[in-house]
Every structure is written in C-alpha cells, then in structure tokens.
Structure 1
Amino acid sequence: MRLIRFLSACFLALAWLPVQAQDASAARLTQLLQQADTLTARFSQLSLDASGTQLQETAGEIALKRPGQFRWHTDEPMEQLLVSDGKKVWLYDPDLEQVTIQTLDQRLTHTPALLLSGDVSQISENFAISHKESSGVVDFTLQPKGNDTLFDSLRLSFRNGVINDMQLIDSVGQRTNILFNSVKMNEPLAAGLFTFEIPEGADVIAE
C-alpha cells in the first residue's frame, strides 16, 4: 500500500511539473513583453523552405504600440507596407498600386505582430510555452494550442531584456527568421504612424 501511495504521489508531482513550467514561462514572457509600450527597430527577414533553400530575403523597419497597433515597412525592391490601427489592417503594394483592407484578426496565432504589440494576457490561452535562460539570453518556444493557425511553432529570443529575433515554422516546414536591431523602446510615436491614407489612383480590395 505504501508503494502504491508513493507511486501515485510521484505521478501527480510529475503531472504538475509541466503545468508549473508553462505558467513560469508564460509569466517570464509576459514580463519581458510588458516592458515595451512602444517599440521601433530595423529588421532583416529570411525565408527558407523545408530543405533549407533560401526563398526570400528582405529588410525594413517596424513600429509597435500597445494595444494592437503596428507598422511594418519592407524596403525596396520588394516594398510593402502593413499598417494596423488596432482594428483594421492595410496592406499596400506600391508596385501593384493596390491596397488590401482587412479587419484585424485578434488571435495571436493568426497575427504574429500581436505577440509584440497586443494583449499579453492572451498568450497562455493561445500557446503552450517553454523557455530556457542563460547569460542574459532568454529563448521561448510557443506551440499553438489550436489547429487553425498560420504556423506550427514560434521562437522568440531576448537578449538583456530586449527582443532580438523570432522564427516561425509553418505546417510544411518553411521557416521565417526575423532579426531585430537598433531596437528602441518606450519612445513617443506619432499617431499617424498607425493610420493609412489610400494613395490616389490605388486599387482597393476590402476583405
């Protein structure tokens, strides 16, 4: 009987550990994300297929402001501008002279930018989270809990409390690596950064 009780206690303890670890990881990630009410940075983005072959390489600038406002500008020659005021999203392609307007999907698993600019209280509802920390570097791995997602896993890495890079892997193994540099946090940002005026003559697609 003592053995049975001992084994039962061990089983319950082991079952509880992953939950505790996830809660600790979610709390640590929330702590780091909440440090920045606003954020600006340069970024470089590299997309690879499942075999590691390079598909695309771009660079640009981002600006984020809680809650849910972001601006993602990709440099030429593949220029695009993605802007959200927290309710709507505008995607502008200068080459095509086309603007696509959508309602912002508030699900973190459908709008990765919301992980950095949105309501961090939703993170543990949307993801199973684990992390490891060493010498000022904290790496988080986020696995979506739902099946209807844009990616299968997401990694966020912080160095000395500042976002450094992120990697998304989709269902076919394609990887998107985004490296941030010249990061500035909690500086005043003009409200106009997060609104978009449709250029004269541009085609508009409302979804």
Structure 2
Amino acid sequence: MRISGIFSVTGMTLCALFCLSPVMAADLASVIQQRYETLKSFSAEFEQTLTHKESGSVERRQGSLLFQKPLLIRWQTAKPHEETLVVTAREIWDYLPDEEVAYRYPPSLVRDSRSIIQVITGQAALTKDFDVKPEGEDQGMAKLRLYPKEPAPQMVEAVIWVEPGSGYIRRASIVDFYG
C-alpha cells in the first residue's frame, strides 16, 4: 500500500539548493531532525491518498493531525472514510465508526524509528535510521528519498518534500511491504 499525504504547517522558506549533493542532503536531514525535535506540539490538515498495488483501488481522505510531546497523537480522517487514531504513552486506539469497532494496540508499534510518525515527531534519527538520497527540487521544495537501514513492514521506502530553510515536511509518500 502506498500512502501519500500533503501536510500544511505555517511558514514558508524556500532554498532548493540544499538538495544538490549527498552532503547537503545530510545537512537538510539534520535541519529536519532539529526542527521536529524542538517542536512541543503542532497541528496539520492533510490530504491522504491510499493506493492498493494489488487491486489498483485508490482512496482519498482528508483530515487533521494533532501532536504533543512526548508522544500524544490524534489522526482523524473526515467522512466518508472516517477513522480516528489516538496514540498515548500506554496504548494506541484505532476507531472505525462505520464498523462500530475500536482496536487497541501496544504503543511499541509507533516506537519503531522507521515509521513516518517517528520522523514527523522528531524521534527518528534520520541519518542514523535511514539512507537519505537527494532527489533535487520539486515545486520549491527539496525532495529526499528515505530507505530504512532495516526495512519494516510499514515502511520500506519513503519520499519527503521539505522546505529546506525551515525543515518542515510538507508532503510524504510511504511505500509499505506490500508495495
């Protein structure tokens, strides 16, 4: 499954030259890491596209993401694919109103440094946990491809689009084990 999202966080600084060499990609990864490590909280509106490789089906969703340190997350999508995911230090809840069911998971699922949650909350060490490859500039943003040094089912590859000056991730595309 491929998950793509566009994140909206205030502030826009453009500097596409960061992404021209591997050294600059590492520098940009450090800027991203530092930016998200220092955030105490943030909120974002997102658009998400889920593409199922086997069936070819595509689902588009919109929603909001709320984050507060140390690790409190609320990911909520709007109708018609309504879902609420809540992450706390003790548990993860995934509520699907259409199915009238809530699933409870251990918090260890989001503590894996190879998850996008760990990247956007500043808890993944990008240059330690990922091979970071620059892919140039795309619409004023630096484009980086991330390969987990130890692939996990939830992420075997990711592409992030970053405001180089601010270090904010504006868009992400994640490929899981199933493609």
The alignment's TM-score, normalised by the length of structure 1, stands at 0.62
User: What corresponds to 1:148 in structure 2?
Assistant: 152
Question: Structure 2: 5+ residue runs without aligned partners?
Answer: 1-20
User: What corresponds to 1:158 in structure 2?
Assistant: 162
Deviates further, 80-89 or 25-34: 25-34
Q: CA shift at 1:141, angstroms? A: 1.7
User: What corresponds to 2:88 in structure 1?
Assistant: 85
Stretches of 4+ moved more than 6 A in 1? none
User: What corresponds to 2:176 in structure 1?
Assistant: 170
Letter in 2 for 1:119: Q
Letter in 2 for 1:60: G
Q: CA shift at 1:90, angstroms? A: 0.8
Q: Distance in 1 between matches of 2:96 and 2:53?
A: 27
Letter in 1 for 2:153: T
Shift of the 148–46 alpha-carbon distance from structure 1 to 2, 3 Å rule, reads closer
Q: Which secondary structure does the structure 1 equivalent of 2:143 belong to?
A: strand
RMSD: 2.8
Q: Distance in 2 between matches of 1:172 and 1:94?
A: 26
User: What corresponds to 1:72 in structure 2?
Assistant: 75
Deviates further, 52-61 or 76-85: 52-61
Q: How many positions carry a matched residue from both structures? A: 154
The alignment's TM-score, normalised by the length of structure 2, stands at 0.71
Q: Distance in 1 between matches of 2:55 and 2:98?
A: 29
Q: Does 1:27 align with 2:46?
A: no
Q: CA shift at 1:21, angstroms? A: 6.1
Q: Which secondary structure does the structure 1 equivalent of 2:113 belong to?
A: coil
CA contact (8 A) 1:25 1:129 kept: no
Letter in 2 for 1:169: V
Shift of the 50–95 alpha-carbon distance from structure 1 to 2, 3 Å rule, reads closer
User: What corresponds to 1:56 in structure 2?
Assistant: 59
Shift of the 35–130 alpha-carbon distance from structure 1 to 2, 3 Å rule, reads farther
CA contact (8 A) 1:43 1:61 kept: yes
Q: Distance in 1 between matches of 2:89 and 2:28?
A: 26
Q: Identity of paired residues, percent?
A: 19
User: What corresponds to 1:8 in structure 2?
Assistant: none
User: What corresponds to 1:95 in structure 2?
Assistant: 98
Select the structure with the greater relative contact order (CA < 8 A; seq sep ≥ 6). Answer: 2
Q: Deviations over 1:138-182 (max 9, x none)?
A: 222210111333122111212352331110122343xxxxxxxxx
